Amino acid sequence: MTEVKGVGAVILNSSNEVLLTRRKPDCDFYPDCWFLPCGTVESGEDPKATVVREMEEELCIAVEIIRELIRRTNDGGYDEIIYECAIMKGGPVNNDTDELSEVRYFPLNALPEGIHSKITELLEGILNKKEKMA
């Protein structure tokens, strides 16, 4: 893999719902699509530091990284890492109204229409693992 340029966060609440953000219709990156909270790695920045920074900037939450879930090349042709994170402080609010139209939790078994297919696949894999552990 090449240099990581993007990060995303899977954040579950105590009701096992996943936090998603909806991109604005005029957004360059997946317009009008439900997506994981995510961001771009700045030059020289560690991807873990990026996910912590992006969650604070965009959603006003302090997160702790639990583990790396997946490292892949995304649809845009660049490498990204998706982390499982836990909120340590704050409650998610939309602090990025230029790009995001909505921020909310959804049950893993009732994801919204308009969610990106790669995110659906990732979250279905998480749900299947949780069901096997139950």
- The angle subtended at Cα 38 by Cα 32 and Cα 42, nearest 5°, is 125
Measured CA distances, 43 to 23, 48, 50, 116 (Å): 24, 13, 10, 27
Cβ-proximal residues to 128 (8 Å cutoff; 6+ apart), any chain: none
- Rounded to two decimals, what is the model's pTM? 0.90
Looking at domain 4-133, which of 3.40.50.720, 1.10.287.980, 3.40.50.300, 3.90.79.10 is its CATH number? 3.90.79.10
pLDDT score, position 130: 58
Task: Report the SS3 class of residue 100.
Answer: strand
If you search the block for the tokens 């299947």, which residue do you land on? 128
pLDDT in tens, 10-43: 999 999 999 999 999 998 878 999 999 999 999 9
